[in-house]
Amino acid sequence: MEFNRQNAELALKEASKSNPGAWTDHSRYVAEACKHIALHCGHLSANQAYLYGLLHDIGRYAGVTSERHLIDGYRFCMERGWEKAAQICISHAFMIQDMNTSIGEFDVSEPDYLFIKEFVANAVYDDYDRLVQLCDSLAMPTGFCLLEKRFVDVTIRYGVHPATIGRWKKILEIKAMFEKKMGYSVYSLLPGIVENSFR
The band of 128, judged by pLDDT with boundaries at 50, 70 and 90, is: very high
Do 104 and 138 contact (CB within 8 A), yes or no? no
The pLDDT tens digits for 138-178 are: 999 999 999 999 999 989 988 888 999 999 999 999 999 99
Where does the pLDDT of residue 16 fall: very low under 50, low under 70, confident under 90, or very high at 90 and above? very high
The Cβ-side half-sphere exposure at 128, using a 13 Å CA radius, reads 25
Tens of pLDDT, residue by residue over 66-125, are 999 999 999 999 999 999 999 999 999 999 999 999 998 999 999 999 999 999 999 999
In this prediction the pTM is 0.95
- What separation, in Å, do the N-terminal and C-terminal C-alpha atoms of the chain show? 51
pLDDT at 198 over 80: no
pLDDT at position 194, please?
77
Q: Give the per-residue pLDDT at 167.
A: 96
Contacts made by residues 95-102, CB under 8 angstroms, sequence distance 24+:
95/130, 95/133, 95/167, 95/170, 95/171, 95/174, 96/163, 96/166, 96/167, 96/170, 97/121, 97/123, 97/125, 98/163, 100/162, 100/163, 101/161, 101/163, 101/166, 101/167, 102/67, 102/163
Give the confidence band of 56 by pLDDT, cuts at 50, 70, 90. very high
Least confident range from 18-22, 180-184, 192-196: namely 192-196
Is the pLDDT score of 197 beyond 70? no
